[in-house]
Amino acid sequence: MTTTRCGAGEKNEAGLCLQVNGRVHTLDDVPREATLLHLLRNDLGLNGPKYGCGLGQCGACTVHVDGIAARACVIPAHGVAGRTITTLEGLGTKANWHPVQAAFEEAQAAQCGYCLNGMVMQAAALLARDPNASEARIRSELSGNLCRCGTHIEILDAVQRAATRLRAPAA
Ligand code: FES
Ligand code: FES
C-alpha cells in the first residue's frame, strides 16, 4: 500500500482518496475489508485513535467523520471515501490545543490515558453541536466511552471546563 498526495476533488480510479486532517491522501490497493482505524494507524501513522475492542463498543478509536463522532474500528475505509476525517492529531497540537484537549490537561483527566482519544473526540463533537450541554447530556454522550481506570469524575470536570470556555465570548 502506498500513499501519495492528490489534489482536492481529483478523481483517482485506482486508489482510495481520503481527506484526513486537512490533507488529501490517495492509497492504493486498500482491501475492501480494511477499516478506517487500520488505515489511519498503519498507513497514515496517526496513532491518536486507539485499538481497544475492535467492535465499536469502547470508544477508544473515535474520530470525526464530517464532524460527527464515529468508531473508526468498525467503519470500512472505502465507506468514507470523499468524507472529511479528523483525528486527535487534527483537532489540535500542543502549540495550539483545542479547548477540550487543554481542559483535559488542566484537569489531569487521565491515568493510563488509553481512553483519552475517544473521550476527547466524543466531547469535542458534542460541544461543537451544543456548548451548553448539561451535565446529564455530557454523561449520556460519553456513556459509550469506557475508562478502565475510573477517571470519570476528572473527565466530566474537564468537559465542563471546556464547555465553559467554548461558551465564553471571544476577548
Ligand atoms: S476499538 Fe473501536 S470502539 Fe473499541
Ligand atoms: S485513563 Fe486509563 S482507560 Fe481511561
Q: Where are the alpha helices (DSSP H) in 88-134?
A: 88-91, 99-106, 116-129
The beta strand positions in the chain, using DSSP E, are 3-5, 16-20, 23-27, 62-65, 68-71, 84-86
pTM higher than 0.85:
yes
Ligand that lies nearest to the alpha carbon of residue 73, given by its number in the listed order: 1
Measured in angstroms, how far is the CA atom of residue 146 from the centroid of ligand 1?
A: 10
Which residue pairs, CB below 8 angstroms and at least 24 apart, start in 70-76? Answer: 72/35, 72/36, 72/37, 72/40, 73/35, 73/36, 73/37, 74/35, 75/35, 75/36, 75/37, 76/32, 76/33, 76/34, 76/35, 76/36
All structural domains of the chain with their residue ranges: 11-90, 92-167
**Interval 97-154: pLDDT, tens:** 999 999 999 999 999 999 999 999 999 999 999 999 999 999 999 999 999 999 999 9
Quick one: CATH architecture of 11-90?
Answer: Roll (3.10)
CATH number of 92-167: 1.10.150.120
Which amino acid residue places its CA nearest to atom 3 of ligand 2? 147
Distance from residue 150's CA to the centre of ligand 2 (Å): 7
**Residue owning grid cell 489534489:** 7
Task: Give, for ligand 2, the residue of 114, 122, 142, 159 to mutate: max count of ligand atoms closer than 8 Å to Cβ.
Answer: 114
- Looking at the CA of 148, which ligand is closest? 2
Tens of pLDDT, residue by residue over 42-58, are 999 999 999 999 999 99
Among the bound ligands, the one closest to the CA of 52? 1
